[in-house]
Amino acid sequence: MNTKSVSKIENHVKHLNNAWETGVGVQPLTVLDPDLTIDEAYAVQLHTIDQQVKSGQRITGKKIGLTSKAMQDMLGVGEPDYGHLLDGMAYENDGKIPFHRVLQPKVEGEIAFILKEDLVGPDVTALDVLQATDAVVPALEVVDSRIKDWKITLADTVADNASSGLYVLGENPKKITDIEIKQLGMVLYKNNQLQNTGVGAAALGDPAKCVAWLANKLATYDITLKAGEVILSGALSAAIEAQPGDHFYAKFAELGEVHVTFTE
Amino acid sequence: MDKDLIKELADYVHNAEKEKQEIIKITTERYPELSIEEAYLVQEELVQQKLDAGYKIIGPKMGITSEAKMKQMDVDDPIYGYVFDNMVVNEGDTISISDYIHPKVEPEIGFILDRDLEGPNVTALDVLRATEYVFPAIEIIDSRYENFNFTLPDVIADNTSAAGAVFGTNLKRPESLELDVVGVTLSINGKVESLGAGAAVLEHPANSIARLANMLSKKGEKVKAGQPILSGGITAAVRLAPGDFVNAKYGGLGDVSFFVKE
Report CA-CA distances (Å) from B150 to A240, B36, B115, B224.
30, 13, 35, 29
Give the closest-approach CA distance of B111 to chain A in angstroms. Answer: 19
**Contact at CB, B183 and A183, closer than 8 angstroms:** yes
- For every one of its 262 residues, what pLDDT tens digit does chain B have, with 9 covering 90 and above? 899 999 999 999 999 999 999 999 999 999 999 999 999 999 999 999 999 999 999 999 999 998 878 888 888 889 999 999 999 999 999 999 999 999 999 999 999 999 999 999 999 999 999 999 999 999 999 999 999 999 999 999 999 999 999 999 999 999 999 999 999 999 999 999 999 999 999 999 999 999 999 999 999 999 999 999 999 999 999 999 999 999 999 999 999 999 999 9
Out of A180, A182, A198, closest to residue B196 by CB: A198
Residue from B195, B208, B234 whose CB has the most chain A CBs within 10 Å, to mutate: B195
A187 touches chain B (CB under 8 A): yes
How high is the pLDDT of residue A1? 59
pLDDT in tens, A166-218: 999 999 899 999 999 999 999 999 999 999 999 999 999 999 999 999 999 99
| DSSP β-ladder status, A90-91 and A81-86 | unpaired
Distance separating alpha carbons of residues B213 and A11, to the nearest angstrom: 65
Residue from B179, B181, B207, B235 whose CB has the most chain A CBs within 10 Å, to mutate: B181
**Contact at CB, B181 and A253, closer than 8 angstroms:** yes
Q: Which among B187, B184, B180 has a CA at the least distance from the CA of B207?
A: B180
Using a CB-CB cut-off of 8 Å, the residues of chain A touching B192 are 201, 205
Domain that holds residue A192: 3-263
A249 touches chain B (CB under 8 A): no
How high is the pLDDT of residue B101? 98
Using a CB-CB cut-off of 8 Å, the residues of chain B touching A194 are 67, 199, 203
Give the closest-approach CA distance of B53 to chain A in angstroms. Answer: 41
Helix (H, G, I), strand (E, B) or coil at B97: helix
CATH number for the domain harbouring residue A28: 3.90.850.10
Residue of B nearest to A193 (CA): B203
Give the closest-approach CA distance of B170 to chain A in angstroms. Answer: 16
User: How many CB pairs below 8 A link A and B?
Assistant: 73
How high is the pLDDT of residue A70? 83
Residue from A187, A193, A254 whose CB has the most chain B CBs within 10 Å, to mutate: A187
pLDDT in tens, B23-72: 999 999 999 999 999 999 999 999 999 999 999 999 999 999 988 788 88
Residue of B nearest to A206 (CA): B192
Residue of A nearest to B191 (CA): A205
Contacts of A77 (CB under 8 A, 6+ apart): A66, A154
Give the closest-approach CA distance of A186 to chain B in angstroms. Answer: 5
Residue ranges in chain A whose pLDDT is less than 50: none
Using a CB-CB cut-off of 8 Å, the residues of chain B touching A252 are 181
A171 touches chain B (CB under 8 A): no
**Contact at CB, A253 and B203, closer than 8 angstroms:** no
Give the closest-approach CA distance of A103 to chain B in angstroms. Answer: 28
**Contact at CB, B182 and A187, closer than 8 angstroms:** no
Distance separating alpha carbons of residues B136 and B181, to the nearest angstrom: 14
> What total number of domains does chain A contain?
1
pLDDT in tens, B131-152: 999 999 999 999 999 999 999 9
Q: What is the 3-state secondary structure (H, E, C) of chain A?
A: CCHHHHHHHHHHHHHHHHHHHHCCCECCHHHHCCCCCHHHHHHHHHHHHHHHHHCCCCEEEEEEECCCHHHHHHHCCCCCEEEEEEHHHEECCCEEEEHHHCCCCEEEEEEEEEECCCECCCCCCHHHHHHHEEEEEEEEEEECCCEHHHCCCHHHHHHCHHHEEEEEECCCCECHHHCCHHHEEEEEEECCEEEEEEEHHHCCCCHHHHHHHHHHHHHCCCCCECCCCEEEEEECCCCEECCCCCEEEEEECCCEEEEEEEEC
Out of B178, B203, B249, closest to residue A253 by CB: B178
Using a CB-CB cut-off of 8 Å, the residues of chain A touching B184 are 183, 185, 199
Domains located in chain B, CATH noted = 3-261 (3.90.850.10)
Give the closest-approach CA distance of A182 to chain B in angstroms. Answer: 8
Interface of B with A (CB under 8 A): 67, 178, 180-185, 192, 195-200, 203, 234, 249-252
Using a CB-CB cut-off of 8 Å, the residues of chain B touching A199 are 183-185, 195-197, 251
How high is the pLDDT of residue A69? 85
Give the closest-approach CA distance of A62 to chain B in angstroms. Answer: 25
